Amino acid sequence: MTDLVAQTNEALAAGAPALAACLSPLGRRLAFPPDIPFQAAQARGKAFNATIGQITDGSGRALPLSAIAGGLSGLAEVDRNRALLYAPVEGIAELRERWRAWQRARMPAALVARAPELPSSLPIVVDGLTHGLAIVADLFGADDRPLVVPRPFWGNYRQTFTTRTGSPVLSAPAYVDGRFDPLAWERALAGESASSPAIALVNSPSNPGGYTPNAAERSELLASLLRIADRRPLVVLCDDAYAGLVFDEAPAASIFWDLVAAKHPRLVPVKVDGATKELLYFGGRIGFVTFAVEPGTPAHDAIESKVKCLVRAVVGSPVATSEVLMLQALRDLPTAEAEIAATRELLAGRWRALTAALGATDRALLRPLPCNSGCFSLVELPEELGITAEQVRQHLLAHHDVGIVSIQPRFVRIAFCSVAEAAIPELVRRLELGVRELAAAAKSS
Amino acid sequence: MTDLVAQTNEALAAGAPALAACLSPLGRRLAFPPDIPFQAAQARGKAFNATIGQITDGSGRALPLSAIAGGLSGLAEVDRNRALLYAPVEGIAELRERWRAWQRARMPAALVARAPELPSSLPIVVDGLTHGLAIVADLFGADDRPLVVPRPFWGNYRQTFTTRTGSPVLSAPAYVDGRFDPLAWERALAGESASSPAIALVNSPSNPGGYTPNAAERSELLASLLRIADRRPLVVLCDDAYAGLVFDEAPAASIFWDLVAAKHPRLVPVKVDGATKELLYFGGRIGFVTFAVEPGTPAHDAIESKVKCLVRAVVGSPVATSEVLMLQALRDLPTAEAEIAATRELLAGRWRALTAALGATDRALLRPLPCNSGCFSLVELPEELGITAEQVRQHLLAHHDVGIVSIQPRFVRIAFCSVAEAAIPELVRRLELGVRELAAAAKSS
């Protein structure tokens, strides 16, 4: 271990001991090395700066191909230039500051009075939400550190954590008797005697569930996570991909803030969020990783150093073009927020149409699970039908011109975020019809 | 191991046995799962497509924030839409086809007649060149598989390979008696008795060296790599980041093609290249990973499946915005190629100015290493001066308003790609002056 790595680990042990205790072997090895980006940062502003391997006019301006620059002609020259050149490894400073303000403006109402005492780091820019999850997996995941996530869950968690880092998935049903179970994480760990760190993944609004806990469930969930942390070190990874898309009275704020406020000595809250859904920018791949550590502290710089080392090792630096485009929106918040609210209303209309259409279907064929948020709705097929969700998916593709996602063993996910409200009743009619046909065929065979 | 992973490994063992034999434990575990992107691909074009978690108008069009779309107003509507939505995990098909044509148009002249028999895969789009390197590291790297790379080398190779995968670095001097040594890789492995796969990294034009082997050296290098592969399975990773930027008579084509043509039964050529320098698009983060496997074969789909699994697990999907912007340039090749040639000429002017200025310095203070290409030039400090490159860097920053990069123990890297030609003589004057001052202080102390 180099001196730099040792110093980084010591700064974390002193300033963020719960986090330091949860680091994986890879996480412990990381520190941003004092090589080219570090030396380039020191050389900024020098009369003769020969540190950076990007081709410029000699005064820091890009020399782009006209076709690429032309696509960005809607940007002011200074921004277009930034969009064409490397971004800093940690992301563009203005974007990090503005996103931190965006995050903190969305704290739970009950915590706003306590805002000054709730630390949150300058978000580190990454290449989309999944990249944020992969960084958390690398920092904390390993064979002996389970990923705890209720099922059904987004399948890619398995690739990001288990395939890459070896973290086994521990799970329990997210829904019991057709209702969300806020104790699912604790149940998934029941009977585990290990004292190694665990990673609890909280995805709210959820994918594929489209569910956000109501106030009572949220309290139960928080208390349950704290009980887990009483027993073993616990990273709580808040996958806030769908933040803000809540269509009923459930509290929309991230539980990251409640976990920060709880100040449990063995619980490490981490927030992963980004522009993909929150700013409706799917093709840009901008995500952020945020820790409960205040800027300006040695622990802040130490965890930032570890994440920057991973960003540099895996993708070099985050996408400058998308960062600059995202900044355009964040600089005019009233317009962006009004447009986001309008899209939320559009989705709410689709959600209401879907809820109504599913509500009118035959419970012997389709069992809709609770859905109040996000982009998806989940339907369970009754076990007694004797058919799988994958059979339904194939049948709908082949015979009803309908694409849905099947999730083992008997869940169907409907992405209402990409279907027009007017099309939803017919979509549900075909789904019900397809299930009815398959169930009849299964019964007669 | 799932059936899918087993089938993928079998397809590789049958169609690309050398590659299959080099896979790391992680590489062997990978296969793109038949979950959401797979199911969404099957649902494309259905009347009712409720598979995809992106928010659209219900007919596949993005609903962007006006500020973000406005930044892309230079794009035609259909392209702007693609820039705002998710790209396929493997990248946009048109971009992959056009980049493959770009690559194959740059084969060595001597091999063009053999082009039909030289297989190359559809390049897989990744988030920049480093991401391509990280994918190769994950596919092939592990504790017992050395990364073989002459020194000095780009420091980030160490993070990408060693820190993450455990691959130890084996090295030998890139320059002997002030000349490039084409046998450096073989020398780095001399005395190794291990029979595990090794990964030879060939970076040409090089960073930090700015060197491309001449025709004779290139032949020696190729023969040397083939000799290594006679002894142990060998991945040759061609890091072609600076492809095309050659300023003298040295052959500019990637040695990837020579390695493909050699058809050695234990040598696995992999090409990593991209838009960053080749299309002068630093902020876009578009790279490609290419294998010596022909599209349409089971082995092609198997290695693509493994890489897609990693892309999805680590970054979700590559940046659509940058892919679409890059396409604008590739659709009008004559313009793009003329602009690239003009920038190459600009860099050639700086390179000539730097070569002349360094040539006129005192050999007792500065020993320029051979440089004929790329973005950088490397200067060695004579050992007898008793000073380190890091001391020189700090001294130039503090007293001469000059930023350069120091590389242990006694190398200084000058990025002439970002310094105006007119500034180069003064930059070199200050470098020489700074070294003279430090050397005098070292002598008198």
- pLDDT (0 to 100) of residue B53: 87
Residue of B nearest to A429 (CA): B48
Where does the pLDDT of residue B194 fall: very low under 50, low under 70, confident under 90, or very high at 90 and above?
confident
- Residue B220 reports pLDDT greater than 70: yes
d(CA B247, CA A334): 52
pLDDT digits 0-9 by tens, A27-58: 999 999 888 888 988 998 899 999 988 999 99
Contact A30 B397 (CB under 8 A): no
CA-to-CA dists, residue A105 to A94, A99, A117, angstroms: 17, 10, 15
- Alpha-carbon distance of A379 to A417, in angstroms, equals 16
For residue A426, the chain B residues in CB contact (below 8 A) are: 48
What pLDDT shows up at residue A37? 82
For residue B35, what pLDDT is reported? 80
Subunit contact A404:B51, Cβ cutoff 8 A: yes
Which residues in chain A are closer than 8 Å to B404, comparing Cβ atoms? 43, 50-51
d(CA B143, CA A75): 47
Quick one: average pLDDT of A163-182? 97
Is residue B48 within 8 A of residue A427, CB to CB? The reply is yes
Residue B138: list chain A partners with CB under 8 A.
Answer: 164
Q: Is the pLDDT of residue A109 over 90?
A: yes
Distances (CA, A) of B414 to A34, A264, B152, B158, B211: 17, 50, 14, 21, 13
Residue B351 or residue B41, greater confidence: B351
**B280 with A62: Cβ contact below 8 A:** yes
Closest CA to A423 of B302, B418, B187, B48: B48
**pLDDT for B193:** 87
Between chains, do A130 and B72 touch, taking CB under 8 Å as contact? Answer: no
Q: What is the pLDDT of residue A1?
A: 66
Average pLDDT over residues B227-233: 97
CB contact under 8 A, B281 and A84: yes
Which pLDDT tens digit goes with each residue over B385-407? 999 999 999 999 999 999 999 99
Average pLDDT over residues A154-167: 96
Whether A415 sits inside 8 A of B64 (CB atoms) is no
Q: Do B54 and A285 touch (CB under 8 A)?
A: no
Per-residue pLDDT tens over the stretch A205-260: 999 999 999 999 999 999 999 999 999 999 999 999 999 999 999 999 999 999 99
Q: Is the ipTM of this complex over 0.90?
A: yes
Would you state the pLDDT for residue B289? 98
Q: Give B-chain residues touching A73 at CB under 8 angstroms.
A: 73-74
Residue A123, pLDDT above cutoff 70? yes
Distances (CA, A) of B198 to B47, B153, B166, B270: 50, 17, 13, 13
Angstroms from B113 CA to nearest CA on chain A:
31
Cβ count within 10 A of residue A420 = 17
* Amino acid occupying residue A211: Y
Burial A283-317 (b: 16+ CB within 10 A, else e): bbbbbbbbbbbeeebbbbbbbbbbbbbbbbbbbbb
pLDDT of the residue at B41:
87
pLDDT tens string A370-416: 999 999 999 999 999 999 999 999 999 999 999 999 998 899 999 99
Average pLDDT rounded to a whole number, residues A174-197:
95
Dihedral (CA of A243, A244, A246, A251) sign: positive
**What distances in angstroms separate CA A373 from CA A142, A273, A358, A420, B373, one per listed residue?**
32, 16, 15, 17, 55
The fraction of chain B above a pLDDT of 90, given in percent, is 94
CB A310 within 8 A of CB B160: no
Q: Where are the alpha helices (DSSP H) in B293-423?
A: 298-315, 320-330, 333-359, 389-399
Q: How far is B114 from chain A (nearest CA, A)?
A: 32
Average pLDDT of the residues of chain B: 96
Alpha helix (H) residue ranges in B202-332: 215-231, 256-262, 275-278, 298-315, 320-330
The whole-number average pLDDT for the span A357-379 is 98
Quote the pLDDT of residue A445.
81
- Compute the average pLDDT of residues A416-443: 96
Minimal CA separation from A394 to chain B, in Å: 10
Which residues from chain A sit within 8 angstroms of residue B309, using beta carbons?
159, 163
Contacts of A346 in chain B (CB under 8 A): 63
Cβ atoms within 10 Å of A394's Cβ, excluding its own: 15
Residue A281 pLDDT greater than 80, yes or no:
yes
Please give the torsion angle defined by the CA atoms of residues B204, B210, B214 and B220, in that order, rounded to the nearest 10 degrees. -50
- The answer to which of A44-53, A279-288, A343-352, A374-383 has the lowest mean pLDDT is A44-53
Q: Which residue has the tokens 């002011």?
A: A76
Q: Indicate yes or no: CB of A328 within 8 angstroms of CB of B405.
A: no
Inspect the interface and report whether the beta carbons of B331 and A397 lie closer than 8 Å. no
Residues of chain A with Cβ-Cβ distance to B59 below 8 Å are 420
Query: With the CA atoms of B192, B198, B204 and B209 taken in that order, what torsion angle do they form, in degrees rounded to the nearest 10?
Result: -50
Which of B130, B272, B418 should be substituted to probe chain A, the one whose Cβ sees the most A Cβ atoms within 10 Å?
B418
Nearest residue of B to residue A280, measured between CA atoms: B64
Round to whole Å and give the CA distance between B86 and A334.
26
pLDDT higher than 90, residue B150: yes
In order, the DSSP letters of A161-213 are: IIIHH-PPEE--BSEETTEE-TTHHHHHHTT----S-EEEEEESS-TTT----
Distance (Å) from the C-alpha of residue A154 to the closest C-alpha of chain B? 9
Question: How far, in Å, CA of A127 to CA of B129, rounded?
Answer: 14
Q: What percent of chain A has pLDDT over 90?
A: 94
Helix H or strand E segment including B131: helix B129-140
Of A315, A325, A415, which has the smallest distance from its Cβ to B315's Cβ?
A: A315
Predicted pLDDT of residue B1: 66
Cβ burial, residue B201 (10 Å; 0-12/13-18/19+): buried
| Higher-pLDDT residue of B283, B1 | B283
Measured between beta carbons, the chain A residues lying within 8 angstroms of B71 are: 72, 74-75, 79, 83, 324-325, 328
Nearest CA-CA distance, residue A208 and chain B, Å = 9
pLDDT tens-digit series, residues B89-140: 999 999 999 999 999 999 999 999 999 999 999 999 999 999 999 999 999 9
- Residue contact B282–A85, C-beta within 8 A: yes
The maximal CA–CA distance of chain A, rounded, in angstroms, is 83
CB contacts < 8 A, A to B, total 407
Instruction: Average the pLDDT over B311-336 and give the result.
Output: 98
Q: How many residues does chain B have?
A: 445
Kindly identify which residue of chain B lies nearest to residue A322, measuring between CA atoms.
Answer: B321
Which residues of chain B neighbour A60 with C-beta distances below 8 Å?
418
Residue type, B207: N
Residues of A in contact with B164 (CB under 8 A): 26, 138, 313-314
State the average pLDDT over residues B290-316. 97
The average confidence (pLDDT) of chain A is 96
What pTM did the predictor assign?
0.96
Q: Which two tokens stand for residue A437?
A: 């046909």
Q: CB count, 10 Å around CB of B409?
A: 12
Mean pLDDT of B262-287: 97
Contact A283 B417 (CB under 8 A): no
The closest CB to that of B427, out of A39, A48, A82, belongs to A48
What is the per-residue pLDDT for A38?
86
Cα torsion B127, B128, B132, B133 to 10°: value is -130
The pair of three-digit structure tokens given for residue B332, joined into one six-digit string: 């009008």
Q: Chain B residue with minimal CA distance to A89?
A: B283
What angle (nearest 5°) sits at the alpha carbon of residue A11, between those of residues A8 and A14?
150
* A415 with B53: Cβ contact below 8 A: yes
Among A131, A159, A346, most B C-beta atoms within 10 A, so best to mutate, is: A159
pLDDT given for residue B316 in this prediction = 97
Determine whether B340 is exposed, middle or buried from the number of CB atoms within 10 Å of its CB (0-12, 13-18, 19+). Answer: buried
